[in-house]
Amino acid sequence: MKSHTSGSKAGAYTKHAAALRYDPQHHSAPTVVAKGENVLAEEIIALARAHGVLIHEDPHLAEVLNSLEIGQNVPQEIFIVVAELIAFSYVLQGKFPKNWHGHQPINTEA
């Protein structure tokens, strides 16, 4: 989940949000599953929070993600950034690659 607020010439702000899904068994890259502005963006963010989904705020990334179509894979130009965010969300959930032995569980109560 990515969110961003941007200003316009009139001084009003537009809130943007995009939700991604990564299913390595069916897709080679994360896919845009939702995107929206203002009220819809707030609903996307609220749903993400309610389901414990990582929310990352980055105005540049949000701008790129909101330019994509629903169902479109994340382009190669931002794949590394998105992959790092997804990997971080897995670590927060205590999920690690099968053969990775250099990890320690994260204390979520800290």
pLDDT of 40 above 70: yes
Q: What is the pLDDT of residues 81-94, one digit of tens each?
A: 998 998 888 888 88
Parse the chain into domains and list their residue ranges: 2-92
Going by their DSSP bridges, the two strands 31-37 and 13-21 should be labelled as antiparallel
At residue 93, the pLDDT reads 82
Q: Is the CATH number of domain 2-92 3.40.50.620?
A: no
Q: Which residues of 50-82 are buried (b: 16+ CB within 10 A; e: fewer)?
A: eeeeeebeeeebbebbbebeeeeebeeebeebb
At residue 6, the pLDDT reads 56
Q: What is the pTM of this model?
A: 0.73
User: Is residue 22 within 8 Å of 30, Cβ to Cβ?
Assistant: yes
At residue 7, the pLDDT reads 54
Q: What is the pLDDT of residues 49-84, one digit of tens each?
A: 999 888 999 878 988 899 999 999 999 999 999 989
Q: Which two tokens stand for residue 91?
A: 């670590």
